[in-house]
Amino acid sequence: MEAARLHEYTDEMSEALEIDEIDRPEIDRSDGVLVEVEGAGWCQTDNHIIEGMWTDYAPQDLPMTLGHENAGIVAEVGDEVTLVEEGHPVICHPVQTCGICRPCRLGEDMYCENSQFNGLTTDGGFAEYLLTNERAVIPLPEGVDPTDIAPHADAGITAYHAAKKAVRELNPGDACVVIGIGGLGHIGLQCLEAMSAADVVAVDVKDEALELAEDLGATRTINAAEEDLASVVADLTDDVGAQQVLDFVGADETTATAPDVVAAGGDHHVIGYGGHIHEPCQALVNGEFSFKGTLVGRYAELQELVALVDRGDVELRTERHDLDEINEVAERLEHNEIEGRAVILPP
């Protein structure tokens, strides 16, 4: 089968992956599930993997097939699989968990001590077939297109996971600021709208992104290239600040806004990454606010997100590309030229 594989780390996205002919994976355990890929979302994390940013955090043996946002049709199952069978459409949680370590017993999928992460520590879905396990697949409701929903396997669940944490702290009338209305941010905004009665304030530097935010129900939009974010939020909240901030950019410039934007006792959720946090300890003590990281999300949360999609509460803005266009997609995302999500189609 054909697969897009990373052979060496590079900053040149135009030459990032090679299309190789490799063997179709075979089920080698009783809970294995082989999925014929219908769509695989391209993610900013893929760019970071290509650049080698994950080498200190996750073991990687190159060459490796990338792609961690996958959905498709079950092609084959192991002897003990009962959740799905051949022909079922599924979305694949990116982490294959063991189910028996203490984090798994506590329901903390992302902390599994024996996990494999598609496209990060094991071969992913930029290929014709993906090998995963029963604990990672979620059957799709009738009428939900695997190609359309594929990016929810990471982009969607990550945005939902952050929104769900924020919603627990939001009361009607509170302000929630969403920074970055891109591939993840436009999903997070919809999740907030579906699950809370807060006033959602969308922040970006592109007018097109802010127009999308308005279409999706944002209470107020702020162009951070033209307006001072802290001043506008202060005016909107009578100087109280935003109870919750969802930062889908994660740059030095966006994390630096926290002391002036987050309300006392509030949270600045870091979802995008690449930057740093450089704030005086006194700023955190004085405001008693917190920075909180976001690592994908639980299997059960992906089930919940699929339910929101099925109800029509969350929709994805996507564009489709053939497998041989994959480096063009990587380069365009590097230059912030893709609105919504890009979905890679198998050959």
pLDDT for 336: 84
323 shares its domain with 234: no
113 shares its domain with 211: no
- CA–CA distance, 261 with 175 (Å, rounded to integer): 10
pLDDT for 100: 96
CATH of the domain at 143: 3.90.180.10
- CA–CA distance, 320 with 259 (Å, rounded to integer): 40
Residue 265 CB: number of other CB atoms within 10 A? 12
286 shares its domain with 174: yes
Q: Which domain holds residue 131?
A: 2-154+296-345
pLDDT for 255: 96
Nearest to 272 by CA among 179, 195, 165, 210: 179
pLDDT for 228: 96
19 shares its domain with 142: yes
CATH of the domain at 206: 3.40.50.720
Nearest to 242 by CA among 220, 222, 268: 268
pLDDT, tens only, 186-235: 999 999 999 999 999 999 999 999 999 999 999 999 999 999 999 999 99
Whether the Cβ atoms of residue 129 and residue 24 lie closer than 8 Å to each other: yes
Q: What sections of the chain are H helices per DSSP?
A: 44-51, 102-105, 146-149, 155-167, 185-195, 207-215, 229-236, 252-255, 258-261, 281-287, 299-311, 326-334
Q: Are strands 199-204 and 175-179 parallel, antiparallel or unpaired?
A: parallel
10 shares its domain with 121: yes
pLDDT for 340: 81
pLDDT for 222: 98
Whether the Cβ atoms of residue 222 and residue 201 lie closer than 8 Å to each other: yes
Burial class (CB in 10 A: 0-12, 13-18, 19+), 332: middle
Q: Are strands 18-21 and 64-65 parallel, antiparallel or unpaired?
A: unpaired
Whether the Cβ atoms of residue 4 and residue 65 lie closer than 8 Å to each other: yes
- DSSP class of 346: P
110 shares its domain with 175: no
Query: Which residue among 249, 267, 293 closes a domain?
Result: 293
- pLDDT below 50 — which residues of the chain? none
What total of structural domains would you count in the chain? 2
Helix (H, G, I), strand (E, B), or coil: what is residue 76?
A: strand
pLDDT for 233: 97
